[in-house]
Amino acid sequence: MKVLVTGAAGNVGAHTCRALLDAGHEVRGMDLPSRAARRVAARLDGAEFAWGDITNPGAIAEAVKGVQAIVHLAAVLPPASEQRPELAEAVILDGTRLLLEASSAGPRPPRFVLASSVAVYGARPITSPPVGPGDPCDPVDTYGRLKVQAEALVQARADSAVLRLGAVPPLSASQDLDPYFFTIPFENPIHAVHPMDAGRAFARAVEADLGDRPLLVAGGEGWRMTYGALVGALFEAAGVGALPAEAFRPLSEGGPAPVGWMDTTEAQERLGFQTRSLERYLSDLAPILGVRRTAARWLRPLARRFVLRLSPYL
């Protein structure tokens, strides 16, 4: 099967391309032609790339030619989605609409798999049970609202599927920190997943029978934790050490952020994607961080000061 992957050079996109290639599919990636994206493309041996903007009808028309499935991952993520809502709407909503229209022209439209988010559920009390596929959506931010609208467009089409992602920490040494990072309370429940497992879920979704409702994609029980525990694990792995809870937004300033634990039972039954633990993620990350990790350990006080200066709460 020939599969188009939008956002193919992103964190989940690159692993989706690799999982599709390993499963024997032909892969066409679509992304903006940045230097970083071209470096990712160079590592995806066997994939072809259609460089272009998801908001450009001409680029989309070329990208969808001859494909039997589309995995739509391109998006504007928070905090950029909240800082530039007009761009987020153009990419998340209009881009989805353009892809659906361009790929519906032929006699047999390709299967369409949309990446959505746990953000569609909105803010939940900290004691809430895990959200399930049938729970009502009540988004509180631009990103979540646009994902709800994009889901509706996709679900109106036959042979489509929606996967709602939890947190996906990157396997990268070049992630920029933003003050937004500190706006989620330490105590907030968060459900993450190894990016390779997320890619595996999307790769399997192009052929699997997924039923008629969204599925929730996150890791197994070991990936259910608090935001503070996840942050602590990541920064210990990076050599910086755990960060203080007071650097993060207190719960009294507005309650939990729009993240929480997820019921992934149905998604795991249908896709069988949960294969890697948090410990496996940390061991995979260590060699990628390489000398940066060693330098951060040697210069830990300076590294911590550099990170914590971004917090608006200290």
CATH of the domain at 32: 3.40.50.720
Domain presence at residue 251: no
Domain presence at residue 153: yes
Local confidence band at 106 (pLDDT 50, 70, 90 cut-offs): confident
Local confidence band at 100 (pLDDT 50, 70, 90 cut-offs): very high
Domain presence at residue 256: no
**Which pLDDT belongs to residue 296?**
74
Q: C-alpha distances in angstroms, 248 versus 55, 164, 182, 228? A: 35, 26, 5, 9
Interval 198-257: pLDDT, tens: 999 999 999 998 888 999 999 999 999 999 999 999 998 888 888 999 999 988 776 677
Interval 266-288: pLDDT, tens: 999 999 999 999 999 999 998 88
β-sheet bridge partners, residue 163? 115, 215
Domain presence at residue 208: yes
The count of structural domains within the chain is 1
pTM of the model: 0.94
Domain presence at residue 303: no
Quote the domain boundaries for residue 208: 2-173+193-221+261-276
Residue 24, H or E segment: none
Average pLDDT, the chain: 93
Could you give the CA distance from residue 228 to residue 225 in angstroms, rounded to a whole number?
A: 8
Percent of the chain with pLDDT over 70: 97
β-sheet bridge partners, residue 31? 51
Domain presence at residue 237: no
Could you give the CA distance from residue 70 to residue 100 in angstroms, rounded to a whole number?
A: 10
Domain presence at residue 137: yes
Domain presence at residue 206: yes
